[in-house]
A and B are shown apart, each in its own frame.
Chain A
Amino acid sequence: MNSCRLLHHEPAIGAWNMAVDEMLLERAQQGAAPCLRFYGWSEPTLSLGYFQEYQHRTQHAASRNCGVVRRLTGGGAILHDRELTYSLILPPKHRFAEHRDELYRAVHGCLIEVLRQLGIPAELSPGERADDSPGPFLCFQRRALGDVVVGPTKIAGSAQRRRNGAVLQHGSLLWKASPAAPELPGLEDVAARPIALETLKSLWIDRLQGVLGCPWRHNEPLCEKEVREAEGLVKCRYAWENWALNRGRGLIAVKIPFDDADGS
């Protein structure tokens, strides 16, 4: 039986985090084993969905001083701070690689089981009727089919990038509200009690192993070649201002004015 690589990475800057995920997606296209990666952020960081307009960040004054990075995955902007972040990378032909919604449901379904085990009544969101509007700027103010909600509050969501049959799924579980996005309550705010994130993560990993159908391969750090490839992606893409602005499509960098009306 094939194994699934399990990585736990220390907090890092947004450009590095995104570059490692893209490097792993590239390797998955070449047939590398599935990989589940948990990581953190060395500072509160706003990530934009792949197609989002950079200028729309002016809609969110609380995160104005945060660094910004553009994800490879779709959806809305996420303020990464007090959260659990994961990426799941699957090669072509994996049973979940072909089916977008099944992968969302599989990962979120396991999370919901764990949250209920911890006494939190989480469930899958039925989503909202799609229309032509771009929707709220922040991902956690949107509701898509399969998001994880507790009552009216979305506490986890995911997004995907699909290339040549391989898939990268990014996801965030909000733990506590961030000062840079105070309007978004986290799990502890909703539960009104402390939640041990490491315990939750461990339970989630156990359940995911059953669903993904392969044993974990632990403690395998990135090899030199992987680090070099990720460093290359940092330089040529994620740390590049024009990537965050417009995916590097030739527009001139401009200073984005923020609305100071709320004094923040």
Chain B
Amino acid sequence: MKLDPKSIQYTSTHEWIHLEDGPGGTKTATVGVSDFAIQALTDLVHIELPELGRTLHAGKPFGEVESVKAVSDLYSPVEGEVVEVNASIAQHLDLMTTDPYGAGWLIKVRVKSGGSQSQLLDHATYKRQCEQAME
């Protein structure tokens, strides 16, 4: 999987989300952290991700990452159940840096039908937000 950053959506808290249709009309969301946020974090040293089956709620933390003594919460863009966790990440945090929209993905969530969802930004809007943050 290698996603085009212009074709996916983002949260204001710097997670990206890619939605795919699943069986029976379900949707599966792949979630990661944007390249902008990863570049700002630098030198990742630790990450904790949720266990399989955990129920996530939109806008609520699903994990935590530490870099240079700063612990940041990661927020779920959608409500649903964790169906897959990237098992490589904990041992290879560099994947988040080198391939944030591919091998650096974090979790997959089976989206709850009719569940809550964070406000999602398209690439252009997210990019503007990042540029404003840099000013």
CB-CB < 8 A to B66: which residues of A? 50-51, 74
Residues of B within 8 Å of A, CB-based: how many? 20
- B75, A73: Cβ atoms closer than 8 Å: no
B1-27 near A? 1/0 per residue, CB < 8 Å: 000000000001100000000000000
Q: Check: A196 CB closer than 8 A to any chain B CB.
A: no
Contact partner of B70 among A134, A160, A165, CB < 8 A?
A: A160
Residues of B within 8 A of A157 (CB): 69
- A161 B13 Cβ-Cβ under 8 A: no
Which chain A residue shows the least CB distance to B44?
Answer: A130
Contacts of A74 in B (CB 8 A): 45-46, 66-71
B96-134 at interface with A (beta carbon < 8 Å): 133
Residues of A within 8 A of B48 (CB): 51
Which residues of A40-74 have CB atoms within 8 Å of chain B's CB atoms? 49-51, 72-74
Query: In the complex the two chains form, is A51's CB within 8 Å of B71's CB?
Result: yes
Residues of A contacting B68 in the complex (Cβ-Cβ under 8 angstroms): 74, 100-101, 144-145
Q: A27 at the A/B interface (Cβ < 8 Å)?
A: no
> Cβ of A98: which chain B residues have Cβ within 8 Å of it?
40, 133
Find chain A residues with CB under 8 A from B12 CB.
Answer: 165
Q: Are B70 and A161 touching (Cβ within 8 A)? A: yes
Nearest-Cβ distance from residue A166 to partner chain B, whole angstroms:
10
Is B88's CB within 8 Å of the partner chain A?
no
Task: Give min CB distance, B2 to chain A, whole Å.
Answer: 26
Which residues from B are CB-within-8-Å of A139?
69
| Binary CB contact string for chain B from 42 to 67 against chain A (1 if under 8 A, 0 otherwise) | 01011010000000000001001011
Closest Cβ of chain B to A60, distance in Å, is 18
- Is residue A164 within 8 Å, beta carbon to beta carbon, of the partner chain? yes
Task: Evaluate contact between A158 and B72: CB separation under 8 angstroms.
Answer: no
Chain B residues near A207 (CB, 8 Å)? Answer: none
B43 touches A73 (CB 8 A): no
Given the complex of chains A and B, what is the CA–CA distance between A72 and B75 in angstroms?
A: 17
The 3 residue pairs across chains A and B that have the minimum distance between CB atoms: A75-B69, A160-B70, A159-B69
Chain B residues with CB under 8 Å of chain A are 12-13, 40-41, 43, 45-46, 48, 61, 64, 66-73, 75, 133
Sample of 19 further A-B pairs with CB below 8 A, known A74-B67, A75-B69, A162-B70: A49-B69, A50-B64, A74-B46, A74-B66, A74-B70, A74-B71, A99-B40, A100-B40, A101-B68, A130-B45, A139-B69, A144-B68, A158-B69, A159-B69, A160-B70, A161-B70, A161-B72, A162-B71, A164-B73
A-B contact pairs, 21 of them (CB 8 A): A50-B64, A51-B46, A51-B64, A74-B66, A74-B67, A100-B68, A100-B70, A130-B43, A144-B69, A145-B68, A157-B69, A160-B69, A161-B70, A161-B71, A161-B72, A162-B72, A163-B61, A163-B72, A164-B73, A164-B75, A165-B12
